[in-house]
Amino acid sequence: MKLPKETKRFCPYCKKRTDQKIDLVSTGFKRGTLTKGSISRTKIRGAASGKGNKGKYSRKAIKSWKRKTKTTTRKVLIYQCQECKKSKQSKNSRRVSKILIGEK
């Protein structure tokens, strides 16, 4: 799906139609390997060492899903007003594989 870089949209803060920049809402940060409660951290601490069954520390961590069913993800657009620099997310997300912003 292709979208322009800027559109005219109603800004609820300026209470009029203004030029607004389109951007995607980021998916957030991923947890590091040495976070609290992670298996690699407990192994460094020496909790899961030696012989025998160590329960959840005996198993290998599941890296990814075995079968990926969905090929598309839900993307939320964010609109930033160029006059007051305030931004607003779109009410409903779109299920698309890819969003190209400002490409022709």
Which residues here bind Zn ion, judged by CB under 5 A?
Answer: 11, 13-14, 81, 83-84
Cα torsion 87, 32, 96, 70: sign:
negative
22 neighbors 6 (Cβ within 8 angstroms): yes
CB closer to Zn ion out of 36 and 91:
91
CB closer to Zn ion out of 13 and 57:
13
Q: Give how far Cα 64 sits from Cα of 5, 9, 14, 53, 61, Å.
A: 34, 40, 45, 24, 9
CB closer to Zn ion out of 31 and 83:
83
Nearest distance from residue 84's CB to Zn ion, in Å? 3
Nearest distance from residue 15's CB to Zn ion, in Å? 8
